[in-house]
Structure 1
């Protein structure tokens, strides 16, 4: 029969294994999200280009002052929206939006990229919410199971209260070298670059 110490060591190992399984589930969920975001944004941008009858020269055309003001207003409004968002990566998102706002010369390709950025940023927010919800569920289940294990040993523990700070710490933990929140954002930025490149190539080749 295992000792109390051996029992809790095994218990800790089981919980750690469960956390890693949950992490793998979230990885798959994020991959599906990236693919969905790619398809949606790519479809919208191609439809937009088709309606506007873009060619490569027009894509690199600099926006007029009026067009720049409209674009800037849209990005500024989005910044205001982000200020109300509860997200661990909000600062990174705001920084990226500001870089788009502060471009000295804005081409139509830049303007389209900014629209892509807003769409992908919304997706990032939804992904992070999903992760936080999943982590909260696992954390709560762990507390309840521990309470049950103590009760089996005749030990009464206090009622557990969900600690939001622990959830944020979990999201900040560098699983596989990078925390979940930063991984979501960095992958979305890579996706934005891929979409921009494909958009340019599509226009050059007349595939829009």
Structure 2
């Protein structure tokens, strides 16, 4: 098979696979759109059943303020959307906590808020969050397949970088065509909600039957389903080419050739670009790298000179070791050998797999730890999956502070205990909630005599434990002060003043 034919077949197959993935995702998204449309119709019907007289609703009735019970009912209803969002993606974009039970909200505004919540969940969860996951999945697949195709062609394996989810998300948020994926889909949502509300208000003002909304709503939702497909296709084309270029760069390919799908649908710009050769380092989306326009089907192939193609190197030039990639080797075999068992790749896979449960967890950590929580979700996952020692400490910190918060103590006392905990943390010493409480309660006697100071505890803690309790806990005993330590985590779990060691303690020789 000729060099060019090999690459055309491989790249076209790779591109078609990503298109199939996007079509399947869009089919699922269409179902979500239709569920949302049905939910909005249900909310509107309930609104009319409750407030209309024979399906006739006046503007004045719609603009009456909610009473206390209706407002509570609204908060409960919106709370369901919040719970769904938190369970699905770990965050919710509508602010409910600040909605006072004395807020002045009209019946029509309440209806708008419910419609907002339905569409927010549609666009937040099914469109943006799950779409981002799909693009990360496609990027990685396209990147690794590009490298596999090159290595199978050359006949040897070279070391290459694993892809981080963070890097792909930055690409997804890059406004390569004037706006990012997120910006475009939220513009679609804002436009949809404007048109739905406009139709709804028109119906109320004219006093027409709400059933007449069905046709207009179907039209508006249908348009947004098509716009979603258009956006997904464009974003997919961008992600595929960025992954392909990254694969070229990692495997030492310096030039690429434009490969257009030549048929009656091919655009003039793609016809002109077909066959042109560019430097990988100088690739610029829309200028010399696809996509060149909406629904662009053009891709690229690596440009390898004929004399290069004839050399099937059987030795890795970097490590000097043989890493053969036979022609009959399947992609799945190559992936399992060179990608699936890589610790970095496994960590990134866990980040995606646990993305939404991790977002819920990060939200809890922020609520409990405040400024001591990892600032961003990216930092949170990086800590959790790539720094096990620090993650274990952070988990214990969360457990300790959460335990303190849930005690039936005064707020002042709780803050004193937490302050003690963090003062010792600055010295790389961990205390359990009980250990922190013991320090606060026992460092000064009832008569005002100082029994021990923070410096005393640090000095004793830094020494090797000289006793062991029957339960396995370690004890540092010195100057009538006993520090009890968890043998596994090294946390100080208690501080005791006593004249002599306990008889049950055995020496830690």
Match of 1:45 among 22, 29, 43: 43
In structure 1, runs of 5+ residues without a counterpart are 3-13
More displaced 10-residue stretch of structure 1: 160-169 or 38-47: 38-47
Deviation, 1:120, is: 1.0
Deviation for aligned residue 1:64: 0.8
* CA gap 1:186/1:32 in 2 versus in 1, 3 angstroms: same
Instruction: Tell me, in whole angstroms, the C-alpha distance in 2 between the residues paired with 1:158 and 1:170.
Output: 23
Contact conserved, 1:75 with 1:101, CA < 8 A, in 2?
no
Q: Which residue of 2 aligns with 1:114?
A: 113
Q: Within 5 A, what are the aligned runs for 1:100-111?
A: 101=99, 104-111=103-110
The residue that corresponds to 1:66 in the other structure is 69
Assess, with a 3 A threshold, how the Cα gap between structure 1 residues 34 and 180 changes in structure 2: closer, same or farther: farther
Higher deviation after alignment, 34-43 or 116-125 = 34-43
- What aligned pairs does 1:67-146 form with structure 2 within 5 A after superposition? 67-75=70-78, 78-79=81-82, 82=85, 86=89, 94=93, 96-97=94-95, 101=99, 104-124=103-123, 125-146=125-146
Quickly say closer, same or farther: Cα 1:174–1:30, change in 2 above 3 A. farther
Residues 1:197 and 1:179: Cα distance change in structure 2 (over 3 Å): same
Q: Distance in 1 between matches of 2:41 and 2:164?
A: 41
Instruction: Quote the RMSD (CA, aligned, Å).
Output: 4.4
The 2-side partners of 1:196 and 1:160 are apart by 49
- Residue pairs, 1:27-42, within 5 angstroms: 32=30, 36=34, 39-42=37-40
What is the aligned length?
A: 197
Find the aligned partners of 2:171 and 2:179 in 1 and give their Cα distance: 12
- Seen in structure 2, the aligned counterparts of structure 1 residues 98 and 46 have a Cα distance that, compared at 3 Å, is closer
Structure 2: gaps (5+ residues): 4-11, 211-509
Q: Which stretch shows the higher mean deviation, 118-127 or 128-137?
A: 128-137
Question: Which residue number in structure 2 is paired with residue 205 of structure 1?
Answer: 207
Q: What CA distance in whole angstroms lies between the structure 2 residues aligned with 1:70 and 1:31?
A: 30
Q: State whether residues 37 and 123 of structure 1, in contact with CA within 8 Å, keep that contact through their aligned partners in structure 2.
A: no
Q: Distance in 2 between matches of 1:198 and 1:41?
A: 16
2-side partners of 1:49 and 1:43: how far apart?
Answer: 10
Choose 131-140 or 77-86, whichever is displaced more: 77-86
- SS of the residue 2:177 aligns to: helix
- In the superposition, the TM-score normalised over structure 2's length comes to 0.32
Change over 3 Å in CA distance of 1:41–1:60 after alignment to 2: same
Helix, strand or coil at the partner of 1:177:
coil
Residues 74 and 110, structure 2, Cα contact 8 Å, conserved in 1: yes
Matched-pair contact (CA < 8 Å) for 1:30–1:184: no
More relative contact order, 1 or 2 (CA 8 Å, 6+ apart): 1
1:9 counterpart residue number: none
SS in 2 for 1:156: coil
Please say which of residues 28-37 and 124-133 is displaced more in the overlay. Answer: 28-37
What's the counterpart of residue 354 of structure 2?
Answer: none
Q: Provide the secondary structure at the position in 2 that maps to 1:61.
A: coil
d(CA) in 1 for partners of 2:63, 2:208:
15
Contact 2:75-2:96 at 8 Å conserved across structures: no
Residue 101 of structure 1 aligns to a residue in which SS?
A: coil
Bigger helix fraction: 1
